[in-house]
Amino acid sequence: MRSIRRNARRVAAAAVASGLVTAGALALTTSAASAATSGSATGHSQSYQFQTIDNPRDLTFNQLLGINDEGEIAGYFGSGAQHHPNKGYVIPPFTRHFVNENFPGSVQTQVTGLNNRGVTVGFWSSMNNANQVNDNHGFVDVGGHFRTADFPTGSPATPPVDQLLGVNDNDVAVGFYTDASGNNHGYEYNINHSRFSTVTESGVTSLTAAAINNRNDVAGFYTNPSTGNTDGFIKYGNRTFIDLTVHGSSSTMALGVNNYDEVVGVFTVGSGSSAQMHGFTWTPQHGFTTIDDPHGQGTTTINGVNDHGQLVGFYTVDGGAITDGFLATP
């Protein structure tokens, strides 16, 4: 994940979270059932046409993070290093024009998600520090009207970390915040009513809500208390929690979900300098499938999927010196 705070993970979010109700927050029901699924990711049977898409303002660092059913794409350029700030954009359908979208007065912005109604979400920062420890604040943009949307916690991290990562057509967004102890907490945000509610799971101390579909099924990732590894999940209607783990991986993160419950994300095999990152899709019918951009074998992250099965994400080349965005169309 790549965040303005500059964590080692490289997607739209920054860490992992667990829901915690605070005063004024709308509490969601606890899960009615839990299940686990673990499977091997294989070569994909579905063929895709891959396109590398980079903003000409910065050909060295681009991440594509969301795509709606019209084919509009959300993303950003800039690595977040000092003097190389994140700058958000959207790409309208059927064009390769990049429309700048940055929170007013911000130093850095990532546009992380969008729906079919023209609403976009993301996070912004007032900082671009050399140590890459910066404040993060979630935002929504409805028709060009921006507002900050930070979970009302009494124990924020210093500096605060709050990110919105996805939004559905009901204008419900999902994201997470980090508390003063370094634990992350997932939540939903109803944009029309400005109401927050938690996304939690019993026994989980760290969970990130990364994506939500129109049935309010939430996908994300969490720290598995049994293994200490990062596992992906999908939670149906904030009730049934299903663990998603690629067999043999050291980390699995679910980052996007469409209305058919096709989940996309990234899994890591190995660690350190030998670690490889592979994109995946998962469906309830067929389980996991590995999908790597041909130019990014072992360095691919899939971050978004629409109802047509189009995928967006990013990969690295030249030993990680270059990060390119991509669109994959079935």
Q: Is residue 191 part of a domain?
A: yes
Distances in whole angstroms, Cα of residue 130 to Cα of each of 59, 223, 320: 22, 29, 19
Q: Is residue 8 part of a domain?
A: no
Q: What is the pLDDT of residue 39?
A: 57
Q: What is the pLDDT of residue 42?
A: 60
Q: What is the pLDDT of residue 95?
A: 83
Separation between Cα atoms, residue 291 and residue 282, nearest integer Å: 11
Predicted confidence pLDDT, tens digits, the chain (330 residues)? 444 443 333 333 433 222 222 222 222 222 233 344 445 556 445 799 999 999 999 999 999 999 999 999 999 999 999 999 999 999 999 888 999 999 999 999 999 999 999 999 999 999 999 999 999 999 999 999 999 999 999 999 999 999 999 999 999 999 999 999 998 999 999 999 999 999 999 988 899 999 999 999 999 999 999 999 999 999 998 789 999 999 999 999 999 999 999 999 999 999 898 999 999 999 999 999 999 999 999 999 999 999 999 999 999 999 999 999 999 999
Helices (H), 8-71: none
Separation between Cα atoms, residue 198 and residue 189, nearest integer Å: 9
Q: Is residue 7 part of a domain?
A: no
Domain containing 181 equals 33-329
186 phi, psi to nearest 5 deg? -80, 150
Q: Is residue 96 part of a domain?
A: yes
Instruction: Reply yes or no: is the peptide bond before residue 159 cis, omega within 30 of 0.
Output: yes
Separation between Cα atoms, residue 280 and residue 323, nearest integer Å: 18
The residues, any chain, with a CB within 8 Å of residue 152's CB and separated by 6 or more, are 22, 23, 24, 25, 196
Q: Is residue 78 part of a domain?
A: yes
Place of tokens 């965040």: 3
Q: What is the pLDDT of residue 17?
A: 26
CATH of the domain at 84: 2.120.10.30
Number of domains present in the structure of the chain: 1
Q: What is the pLDDT of residue 45?
A: 57
